[in-house]
Structure 1
């Protein structure tokens, strides 16, 4: 989390919308041989509970249940050029949005893991045009083999540490130029978030 309080937010609905839109995060935990990170789809229930799954062979898997972990969601980001500032006698920076969530982790039972998998499939298949693929198209043999190779987890978030660094220290005209610059570089997601947050 960025140390400047200007870049923080208490807008929980915005954070949930970011988790929902991105749907993918990084899980961090400290193991006996040092810190580890892994990447996984995530699903929030909107009430501080984040579900995810890992391969059974992942180094984190046997250590997560009953421990505290950190999950990060990385939102849009973009380089900020001093050419967009009133005073070019400065240095470049970066606009970005990210969420850190920390909490206690528990292991999901098989039924809850299957519920998670079906929910994530329906959610993301629904975002692709055309007829969606359905889990029922997978044979029971293949489904069970894949299910037996993963472990589901749920983290109850106790600490939310978001960073929305969106050029808030700049004046309105500069922020407009920065957003336009992001748009011109194909970075519309960060430009739109910037307009929404700093308007």
Structure 2
């Protein structure tokens, strides 16, 4: 990913917090000589060295995955930025936050390990509900899945949040983003630079 210095994020705690909060992304690999992408949720291992998830066993991506260097892309809030929002001249652009994770993939079929992944994902996303659903799976449901584990070799993080603009321009962008309902991106800008 192209990352100009003023958009680069290198703080590991910030990067891993972003990964945990924006863990739905794309697993990109090669299937039969062609790039292939699956949109899916991911889990970061406790020691932050692996990314774990699962695919439907019918998804052809898992068949060529073991041993491949893969790319996972994760994205946070994003929106169009109009040059009319600046006090000084500018061009139309897009503000966003993104993480790219590279690593070597492996596939697993242990029903216990797959169940653990599915249970952990379910607990993570059900926990915000007033009456969380409790996992109850039949063995046949879990046998329709294959686990995926990526050992992280490199992480790139880019927060393009108007850091290259003046303080006045950044404040105006935050105001305009809030006006158009892009509150998460506006909050990210405030949290990360104003």
Q: What is the TM-score of this pair, normalised by structure 1?
A: 0.91
2:22·2:74 contact (CA, 8 Å) conserved in 1?
A: yes
| Equivalent residue number for residue 22 of structure 2 | 22
1:90-101 equivalences in 2 (<5 Å): 90-101=90-101
| Equivalent residue number for residue 187 of structure 1 | 182
Does structure 1 residue 147 correspond to structure 2 residue 147?
A: no
Q: Distance in 2 between matches of 1:195 and 1:2?
A: 23
1:50-199 equivalences in 2 (<5 Å): 50-88=51-89, 90-108=90-108, 109-128=110-129, 130-136=130-136, 138=137, 143-199=138-194
User: Which segments of 5 or more consecutive residues in structure 2 lack a partner in the other structure?
Assistant: none
Q: Distance in 2 between matches of 1:48 and 1:6?
A: 26
Q: Secondary structure at the match of 2:54?
A: strand
Question: What is the CA RMSD across the aligned residues, in angstroms?
Answer: 1.4
Runs of 4+ aligned residues of structure 1 deviating over 6 Å after TM superposition are none
Give per-residue Cα distances to partners, 1:38-84, cap 9 Å, x unaligned: 11111112512110111111121111122111101011101101111
| Equivalent residue number for residue 33 of structure 1 | 33
Q: Secondary structure at the match of 2:42?
A: strand
CA shift at 1:185, angstroms?
1.2
2:111·2:143 contact (CA, 8 Å) conserved in 1?
A: no
How many residue pairs get aligned? The number is: 192
Q: What is the TM-score of this pair, normalised by structure 2?
A: 0.93
Q: Secondary structure at the match of 1:70?
A: strand
User: Which segments of 5 or more consecutive residues in structure 1 lack a partner in the other structure?
Assistant: none
CA shift at 1:148, angstroms?
1.1
CA shift at 1:161, angstroms?
1.1
